[in-house]
Amino acid sequence: MSRQIKVYQDKVALVGGALGLVLEQIKQAIAQRGQCSLVLAGGSTPKPLYEALAQQDLPWEKLHIFWGDERYVPPTHPDSNEGMAREAWLDAVDFPAANIHGMPTSAQDPQKDASRYEAELREFFGVSAGEFPVFDLILLGMGDDGHTASLFPQTAALEVCDRLITVGEKSGQPRLTFTIPLINQGRCVIFMVAGANKQPALQQVFAETADPVAYPSRFIQPQGELWWLLDEAAGTVLKSFNNLVIE
Beta carbon of residue 73, minimum distance to ligand 6PG (angstroms, whole number): 11
Helix (H, G, I), strand (E, B) or coil at 25: helix
Nearer to ligand 6PG, 163 or 170 (CB): 170
Q: Is 155 left (phi over 0), alpha (psi -120 to 50) or beta?
A: beta
Nearer to ligand 6PG, 132 or 152 (CB): 152
Distance CA 50, CA 47 (A): 5
Beta carbon of residue 89, minimum distance to ligand 6PG (angstroms, whole number): 16
Nearer to ligand 6PG, 58 or 237 (CB): 237
Distance CA 22, CA 139 (A): 9
Beta carbon of residue 170, minimum distance to ligand 6PG (angstroms, whole number): 8
Distance CA 7, CA 194 (A): 10
Nearer to ligand 6PG, 116 or 147 (CB): 147
Residues that bind ligand 6PG (CB under 6 A): 41-45, 69, 81, 141-143, 147-150
Beta carbon of residue 69, minimum distance to ligand 6PG (angstroms, whole number): 5
Nearest to 193 by CA among 243, 245, 239, 139: 139
Secondary structure letter of residue 216 according to DSSP: G
Nearer to ligand 6PG, 30 or 145 (CB): 145
Beta carbon of residue 70, minimum distance to ligand 6PG (angstroms, whole number): 7
Distance CA 18, CA 128 (A): 33
Residue nearest ligand 6PG, Cβ-based: 141
Nearer to ligand 6PG, 25 or 80 (CB): 80
Sheet holding 165-170, edge to edge: 69-71, 173-178, 165-170
Where is 190: in which H helix or E strand? strand 188-193
Beta carbon of residue 107, minimum distance to ligand 6PG (angstroms, whole number): 19
In the chain the first and final C-alpha atoms are separated, in Å, by 18
- CB 85 within 8 Å of CB 232: no
